[in-house]
Amino acid sequence: MTTASSSNPAAPAFDRLLLTGAAGGLGRVLRPRLKRLCRVLRASDIAAMEPAGEGEEVVVAPLEDAAAVHALVAGVQAIVHLGGVSVEGPFEPILQANIVGVHNLYEAARKHGARRIVFASSNHVTGFYRQDEVVRPSDPMRPDGHYGLSKAFGENLSRFYFDRYGLETVCLRIGSSFPEPKDRRMLATWLSYDDLERLVVASLMAPVVGHSVVYGLSDNTTRWWDNTSAAHIGFRAQDSSEPFRAAAEARQPRIDLADPAAVFQGGGFVTKGPYEN
């Protein structure tokens, strides 16, 4: 996996690193930040991307196209997988991109010898826990919609590929990664862009991760998730939503406890649908 040596300590950790979902919100944040880890960063999406810069390759590859994904994965040592549908919605598009697509990615990684995947899972895998509960990664999944179901599938698939084939994965149950929290819910779920980078880099660089599940949140005062079991990857959040509390509370001065979005950790996702064919 690593190409660094004692004679060249500044060598990048990876020859080629793949970033899927590079045109998405978090993909655009991580693309320039991951280049220092590799000789070549291969960026992929189906949406428009910035042209390849120095040390980059840009590849358009639909995740549901197995042949395209196999070509995409060839020659990479590790993968940061952000690709797919990132919001709640009808099942069929989520099935193709997030379920068929993640199977294609793992099968390609197995065949081409990639050794580690950082899989962007989601807090919506456990969205039907209440906001007055603290959840551990080992607690049963309680997905809050089609999107959460697809991420639960991805976590189980990655567990299978580790148990059967030794392909390591860190599943990141990402909370809400934006420049600042937008509402009271995000005071608990917020993950700063800098902490997102720290989390992904730790997931790539930890010597041994096996199959790990980690919640992606900053060092927030309000917490719904217990990451104690993930200390082995070496991630330590350095930011907090607390400086934004007054503004978030002013924007949302009262909470309607009859609203399921205010009761369950998944927020508005818990009430979306059903969807007509």
The alpha carbons of the chain give a radius of gyration, in whole angstroms, of 18
The residue type found at 102 is: V
Query: Are 30 and 195 within 8 A, CB to CB?
Result: no
Residues in Cβ contact with 250 at an 8 Å cutoff, skipping those fewer than 6 apart: none
**Local structure of 223: helix, strand or coil:** coil
Q: Which helix (H) or strand (E) holds 212?
A: strand 211-216
| Both tokens assigned to 178 | 């934006």
129 counts as catalytic: no
Residue 274 preceded by cis peptide, ω within 30: yes
Alpha helices (H) along the chain: 25-34, 66-73, 91-94, 101-112, 146-165, 186-189, 193-205, 245-251, 260-263
Query: Are 39 and 14 within 8 A, CB to CB?
Result: yes
The catalytic position among 106, 129, 147, 161 is 147
CA contacts within 13 A on the Cβ side of 181: 28
**Local structure of 23: helix, strand or coil:** coil
Residues in Cβ contact with 79 at an 8 Å cutoff, skipping those fewer than 6 apart: 17, 18, 19, 20, 73, 105, 109, 114, 116, 117, 118
* Catalytic residue list: 147
